[in-house]
Amino acid sequence: MEKRLIERCKKGDLDAFDTLIPLHQDRIYNLALRLLGNEDDALDLAQEVFCAAFRKISSFRGDAAFSSWLYRITVNLANNFWRKGSSRIQAKGVSLDKPLSPHEKDGTSLQIPDHNPGPRQMAAGHELMDILSKNMQSLPFEFRQILILRFIEGLSYEEIAQTLECNVGTVKSRLFRARAELRKLMEPYL
């Protein structure tokens, strides 16, 4: 069924694409969410992914699964997104472009919530998973990306290599370093 929908998309059939989106939207959105760390960016990115996918669907040859192809687009776009520094990741919950308050002149200063509580607070108040998510976000993007693909999305080395367009050796060594980094960050909580 997916194959037939893709064929229709290639002919420019938007309704077919509309049927195709729900089959993949959760996985792509979640991947985007993990890569970028907040819902707004994830939604933007996922939107870009699907639009890009439709625009260049004729280049999808069907050698690999459609989902892998979408994955590659997601990872590539996330890379660009990250490089351009457009992520709002650290500004979650804070809008600096909003006026401070309607009564700005009364002298109240902008209060920036601290998203990085100390280790003790974290251990006391949060589950390991929360801590992990937070620590993942503070890893370099390349490390986070590869950890997500490997352990959360469950891709094989081979698949990661395809997605990131590098060789398996690079995947292995990057994964090794990423794990070491993450381990270092997580050490106090394990």
Partner 1 sequence: MGDCEHIREMMEAYLDRELSAGERSSLEAHIAVCDACRVVLEKEKSLLNALHAVATVPAPEALRTRVMARLRAEMPVLRKSPAAGFLQSIFASRGLNYAYTAALTILVIFLGIRLLHQPAQTRRGIMRLSDEFSERIPQANAPLSSLKPPSAPVSGKAAPFQKGALKEIIAGDKAEVMKKAIPINELLRQYGAETVSISKELPEKSETKYAFLLPSKRYADFERGIRGRNVKILRVSELPASAALLQEKAAGHFGAAYDMKSPEAPSTSSPVTAGVTVAAGGAAVNEVQQPEKKGVEAAPQEANGVSFSRKVDLAAARPAGTDRNRALGLKEPEMEKLKDVSGKPRSLSVTPEPYVYEGEKKSAKAGRELTQTLEEGRVTATTSTLSFGYYSPAAKQPMAGAGAMKVKTSYYYIEMLVGQAFTYDPTNGAITTGDVSRSKQ
| DSSP assignment string, 149-160 | IIIIS---HHHH
Give residues 29-88 in contact with partner 1 (rule: CB under 8 A): 29-30, 33-34, 39, 43, 46-47, 50-51, 54, 84-88
DSSP codes of every residue in 111-123: PPP-S---HHHHH
- Number of residues near partner 1 (by CB under 8 A): 64
Candidate list 72, 126, 177, 179; residue touching partner 1; CB under 8 A: 179
Q: What are the angstrom distances between the C-alpha of 124 and each of 131, 133, 135, 190?
A: 11, 16, 16, 13
Closest contact distance (angstroms) between CB of 29 and partner 1 is 4
Shortest Å distance, C-beta 164 to partner 1:
18
In the complex with partner 1, the residue whose CB is nearer, 27 or 72, is: 27
Residues 110-149 that bind partner 1 (CB under 8 A): 110-112, 114-116, 118, 128-129, 132-133, 137-138, 147
| Interface with partner 1, residue 90, by CB under 8 A | yes
Q: Which two tokens stand for residue 119?
A: 């280790």
How big is the CA angle at 48 (ends 85 and 98), to the nearest 5 degrees?
50
Q: Does 97 interact with partner 1 (rule: CB under 8 A)?
A: yes
Contact by Cβ (8 Å): 25, 36? no
Residue 177 interacts with partner 1 (CB under 8 A): yes or no:
no
